[in-house]
Amino acid sequence: MGVVKFMTLVIFASSAFAGAPVSAAPAESPGLTTDALVAIREGVAARAEAILGAQRGQPLVRAEKKPPLGTGRAAFVRAYSFSLVEFAARSLWWHESIEAANAALRENAEYYLANHPELYDKDNFHWHSEAVLRLVEFYGAGGSRRAGLIRPETEERILEAIWLYCRRQDKGAAKHSNLAEADDLESATWWVKESENHHVQSFTTLWHFARIARHREAFQNRRFDDGRTVQDHYASWNRYVKRYLLERARKGMFIEMMSPAYNATLLKGIFNVYDFADDPELKRRSRLFLDLYFAYWGQEQIDGVAGGGKARIYSDTKPRSLDLGYVFFGLGQVPEFESELFTALTTSYRPALVVVDLACDRRGRGVYEVQQRPLGLALSSEYFQPPTYRLRTDYGGNLRYTYCTPEFVVGTTMSEARPEPHWTMISSQNRRQGVIFAGDPVAVISPQVEATQNRRAYNTQWSVQRKGTLVTQKLKTSRGAGAARVWFSGQGLTEPEALDGWIFTESAGAYAAVRVVEGGGSWVAAEEAGTGRWLQCQYEFSPVILEVARKSDYPSAQHFRAAVRHRPIMIETDRRLRFRSIYGDDFTFFTDYSAPPRINDVPVDYAPDNAFASPFLESVWDSGVIHLRKGNRHEILDFNAPNAQ
């Protein structure tokens, strides 16, 4: 294992730069043609059919029921249910093996009717319930596609199982039992059950069941555990979902920031809301919400892989493309059909043309900065962990910042250096940062901290960034955190080279350099040979500097290296790291966590005026009005009009 020593320069030049980060440059082109955009958007149906058809005609293969995930919990049967529902969904879609599909759906329902602990366990039922409800909408007695393919006896057992899930109040040991009453007044929808994606999976199931059951004689006179009727619940959840969509638009979108797995899991119920809402305002808001999400994602992604700061990422080394990015835009890898993708594959939602243009015209987007202000702080230390999170809504403590170019996207979540219990765990868990490169979907450099508690770590780093310069450091208030290290992928990047304390590498279109400021670093091979390597900090609390630039900005690699090597760096006696970037910005980074970092002597503002700010996506904090632009296309996503709540 080679050791790389890093020397610290002790020269510092005073800054000639002052003020807040400059506004981003406009996009370089007016965008793709309307015909091209329409072709991409209309290609959703063909891409969906191909994914649904890849397993056509295959027999049912039941997944195993697994042991409980923790002490005192029920069996983990999510995969078992997925296998039954996936078989039924593709069979009904292609109108084949109808009786076998019905048998699979009855088997799934009967299992939960006979096993209530499994029904109420947070990791089982609502992970597939949105797909089952969609199948009832399509193929039940009043189905919109082929009414009656789901037989009456099957539909009766399906709805009985979902009724049992929905009727129950929050009781004792059943921590993930569902709220009997939708509260959007006191909570403003920011009291979150278990996690952000769990919360939405649950309440969209409650909304959807109530929508269907209010028209069924068998359920119209039943009472939930709170004594209310299904009609009452439908009205409450209808109001709640509208408020939920409005609040996320007002306050910077998701807590589980840019998590490709959990964001997609959350959105599957929203597709159901869009497709089946009777309330025109709810349908309108759900469409705006989906457009907002794909615009927010689209401006920070390269070939389906999103850059920027993220939360709740379980892979240390391989960026994951968003499956929905392929479905709606043809970007990224072709996903395999699975239950969680069914709502997206069969929805009538289509993104606005301006969203398609933003996502697909990578070069036309040009070079620009993105800021987003998501929530993350707990209301108090009583509510920072499951089963019930309560978010501060006046202030989030987070500023997601991303610098985007056609050749790379580099970003982080700039967060205050706080004790771990200040943050909700769904915000502070497994955060990721760094740079992704065009040309290879796994090409990445990512400073991160090893997760030592069952692949989980919390409150691991804080950072500061402007343009292609990122400075980061491990926090002493972290939990489940091991070594501080930097991942260099083995694909899409040249062999790293050490020179004057810096590690240099390059992609097809960008140069990059990394510096461990104190103590040096050593190379550690990845567990999977050939995938890349870790640069592990010898001093775990050393700041790490990442510099990335477009090749077109330098005559050669030698010029880039010379510019980086001549950067003045100094750690002063009061533990301030002072550093001038290759972009000409002066950074002051307090390695004792005593004050917010400064850029050109201006402290980082963790509560800027905008919830979203980029050349393409702009919204004043808490307004619920988003301006979406690309080239000559402009749409206003107004979540308030016409019936603000």
Domain termination residue (choose one: 359, 394, 421) = 359
24 with 103, same domain: the answer is: no
Tell me, yes or no, whether 626 lies in a domain.
no
The per-residue pLDDT for range 248-267, each reduced to its tens digit, is 999 999 999 999 999 999 99
Q: Average pLDDT of 83-104?
A: 98
- According to the model, what pLDDT value does residue 341 have? 97
Q: Average pLDDT of 539-561?
A: 98
Domain termination residue (choose one: 318, 341, 359) = 359
428 with 332, same domain: the answer is: no
Tell me, yes or no, whether 163 lies in a domain.
yes
215 with 91, same domain: the answer is: yes
Kindly write down the DSSP assignment for every residue of 471-511, as one continuous string. Answer: EEEE-TT-BSEEEEEEEEESSSSPPPEEETTEEEEE-SSEE
9 with 144, same domain: the answer is: no
The per-residue pLDDT for range 465-491, each reduced to its tens digit, is 999 999 999 999 999 999 999 999 999
- According to the model, what pLDDT value does residue 643 have? 56
Tell me, yes or no, whether 521 lies in a domain.
yes
* Token code pair at residue 90: 């593709």
Tell me, yes or no, whether 60 lies in a domain.
yes
Percent of the chain with pLDDT over 70: 93
- Check whether 533 has a pLDDT greater than 60: yes
349 with 471, same domain: the answer is: no
**CA gyration radius, the chain:** 25
Q: Which domain holds residue 451?
A: 3-30+366-608
- According to the model, what pLDDT value does residue 527 have? 84
328 with 437, same domain: the answer is: no
Q: Rounded to two decimals, what is the model's pTM?
A: 0.93
Q: Average pLDDT of 270-288?
A: 98
CB distance 232 to 156 below 8 Å: no
- pLDDT bin (cut points 50, 70, 90) of residue 182 is confident
26 with 41, same domain: the answer is: no
Distance CA 431, CA 453 (A): 14
- pLDDT bin (cut points 50, 70, 90) of residue 30 is confident
Tell me, yes or no, whether 619 lies in a domain.
no
Indicate if the alpha-carbon torsion angle 260, 198, 121, 378 is positive or negative. Answer: positive
Q: Of the ranges 5-14, 319-328, 355-364, 564-573, which one carries the lowest mean pLDDT score?
A: 5-14
Look at the chain and report how many structural domains it folds into: 2
- pLDDT bin (cut points 50, 70, 90) of residue 17 is very low
Distance CA 75, CA 117 (A): 8
200 with 342, same domain: the answer is: yes
E runs forming strands in 224-347: 301-302, 305-306
- pLDDT bin (cut points 50, 70, 90) of residue 183 is confident
- According to the model, what pLDDT value does residue 178 have? 54
Distance CA 143, CA 122 (A): 29
- pLDDT bin (cut points 50, 70, 90) of residue 225 is confident
327 with 399, same domain: the answer is: no
Q: Average pLDDT of 78-96?
A: 98
- pLDDT bin (cut points 50, 70, 90) of residue 184 is confident
Distance CA 447, CA 488 (A): 9
Domain termination residue (choose one: 359, 375, 405) = 359
Tell me, yes or no, whether 620 lies in a domain.
no
Tell me, yes or no, whether 595 lies in a domain.
yes
- Check whether 210 has a pLDDT greater than 70: yes
For 1, other C-beta atoms within 10 Å of its C-beta total 7
More confident residue, 183 or 59: 59
* Token code pair at residue 290: 């989906």
21 with 162, same domain: the answer is: no
Tell me, yes or no, whether 344 lies in a domain.
yes
455 with 587, same domain: the answer is: yes
- Check whether 139 has a pLDDT greater than 90: yes
- According to the model, what pLDDT value does residue 56 have? 94
The per-residue pLDDT for range 609-627, each reduced to its tens digit, is 999 999 999 999 999 999 9
- According to the model, what pLDDT value does residue 568 have? 86
- Check whether 5 has a pLDDT greater than 60: no
The per-residue pLDDT for range 72-81, each reduced to its tens digit, is 999 999 999 9
Instruction: Give the bridge partners for 369, in sequence order.
Output: 403
* Token code pair at residue 473: 């450091």
CB distance 551 to 563 below 8 Å: no
The per-residue pLDDT for range 398-421, each reduced to its tens digit, is 999 999 999 999 999 999 999 999
Q: Average pLDDT of 143-170?
A: 93
* Token code pair at residue 31: 């965008």
- pLDDT bin (cut points 50, 70, 90) of residue 21 is very low
134 with 159, same domain: the answer is: yes
Burial 235-256 (b: 16+ CB within 10 A, else e): bbbbbbbbbbbbbbbbbbbbbb
> In whole numbers, what is the pLDDT of the chain averaged over residues?
92
For 72, other C-beta atoms within 10 Å of its C-beta total 7
